[in-house]
Amino acid sequence: MNKTALFALILAVLIPLLSYFIIRQFSIADIPQPVFADTTISTTVKGKIINETIWHKIPDFTLTNQDGEKVSLHDMVRIDPVTGDTVPKIIVANFFFTHCATICPGMTMNIKKLQESIKKSAKVGDRSADFVQFLSFSVDPDRDSVPQLKKWADRFQINPENWWLLTGDKKTIYDLSLKDMMLSAQDPQGVDTAFVHSPTIVLIDRDRVIRMRRDKDGNPRTYNSMEQNDLVKLSEDIILLMLEKDKKKKSFLAGKLELIGVVFLMALVGLGVFLIALRKSKK
């Protein structure tokens, strides 16, 4: 093997490997991370204390959508076209009410644009983006009946295949907002419709855990439905979660890429040394 061939071989292996380490190093901070922890479990493995965080999961619920159907978290699944397995959908949730004359119409319009952007990002041939489910919970369920939600859905041309407007038990909805998604919610009845309520969109992964990006200081950054930059980031993060592998189904190479890379580099260096020594011995 001449020097040119050896140099080409080194580049062919080294460049992809270095690219992997660089991309991995700089992309970790941008991947949406779990936010709300329930508890931490400490275990001792080979004399070392390992702390495992148990992240808060959104509990199951039963509410009614704009088509009058009773739905729950168990209904938010799809069939994997490759494996045929039943896979939970990624969830994008927000809170609104149809009598809102301030941010709710704009929020709904922006979520519709987000839905369209996700559809365009889906695989060729998949125009429904069935890996994500949009949920809009009414904080005014007493007035937001099924016909009222249907009227709102028709106004904004909401596709019920993967976007449900939900009404039902008020306590269930407010517990989801206040206790599980850590958002503010205020009963709009008897209150001026200009009251402040959260424009936040909540991103929930397939394990029913809330995910957000974090800033350089480690603080979670919420997704504001009224901010274009936040919608762009949310669109990207939905795709990232869609591509994320099931943690319960670890592959043989999971967690071993760095080790394989180091071994491969050592083997490459060893090969180079062997070829140089072989060339000198022939002289």
Stretch 62-72: mean pLDDT:
97
CA dist 168 and 127 (Å) reads: 30
Residue 214: Cβ within 10 Å count: 15
Comparing 231 with 187, the larger pLDDT belongs to 231
Check which CATH number belongs to the domain holding 71 and give it: 3.40.30.10
Lowest mean pLDDT among 4-18, 57-71, 95-109, 133-147: 4-18
CA dist 61 and 141 (Å) reads: 15
Per-residue model confidence (pLDDT) at position 141: 94
123 and 226 housed in the same domain: yes
Q: What are the tokens at 4?
A: 């040119």
CA dist 129 and 207 (Å) reads: 19
Stretch 131-143: mean pLDDT:
95
Domain encompassing residue 262: 3-30+250-282
CA dist 29 and 48 (Å) reads: 26
258 and 274 housed in the same domain: yes
CA dist 138 and 169 (Å) reads: 10
DSSP annotation of 74: G
Q: Mean pLDDT highest for which of 7-16, 24-33, 194-203, 233-242?
A: 233-242
Per-residue model confidence (pLDDT) at position 26: 45
Judge whether 151 lies within some domain.
Answer: yes
Stretch 267-280: mean pLDDT:
60
Per-residue model confidence (pLDDT) at position 282: 61
Positive or negative CA dihedral for 137, 191, 157, 221?
negative
262 and 207 housed in the same domain: no
Judge whether 47 lies within some domain.
Answer: no
Report whether 178 contacts 213 (CB < 8 A): no
139 and 261 housed in the same domain: no
Per-residue model confidence (pLDDT) at position 279: 65
156 and 76 housed in the same domain: yes
Say which residues have a Cβ less than 8 Å from residue 242's Cβ, sequence separation at least 6.
90, 131, 132
Per-residue model confidence (pLDDT) at position 283: 58
Per-residue model confidence (pLDDT) at position 278: 61
Question: First CA to last CA across the chain, in angstroms?
Answer: 15
Please list the residues that pair with 212 across neighbouring strands. 33
Judge whether 35 lies within some domain.
Answer: no
188 and 69 housed in the same domain: yes
Picking from 232, 85, 71, the residue whose alpha carbon sits closest to that of residue 165 is 71
Q: pLDDT band at residue 215, thresholds of 50, 70 and 90?
A: confident
Q: Mean pLDDT highest for which of 6-20, 157-171, 214-228?
A: 157-171
236 and 266 housed in the same domain: no
210 and 277 housed in the same domain: no
Judge whether 38 lies within some domain.
Answer: no
Report whether 7 contacts 15 (CB < 8 A): no
CA dist 7 and 30 (Å) reads: 35
Q: pLDDT band at residue 111, thresholds of 50, 70 and 90?
A: very high
235 and 270 housed in the same domain: no
Per-residue model confidence (pLDDT) at position 83: 83
Judge whether 37 lies within some domain.
Answer: no
Model confidence at 252: pLDDT above 50: no
Name the average pLDDT for the chain. 80
142 and 254 housed in the same domain: no
Total structural domains within the chain = 2
Judge whether 51 lies within some domain.
Answer: no
CA dist 164 and 9 (Å) reads: 54
Torsion of CA 92, 129, 82, 73, to 10 degrees: 30
Maximum separation of any 2 CA atoms in the chain, in Å: 96
Distances (CA, A) of 195 to 143, 149, 176, 189, 248: 17, 21, 20, 11, 43
Q: 70-100, pLDDT tens digit by residue? A: 999 999 999 887 788 899 999 999 999 999 8
227 and 262 housed in the same domain: no
Q: 26-55, pLDDT tens digit by residue? A: 444 468 999 899 998 888 877 788 888 999
235 and 260 housed in the same domain: no
Judge whether 40 lies within some domain.
Answer: no
CA dist 107 and 96 (Å) reads: 8
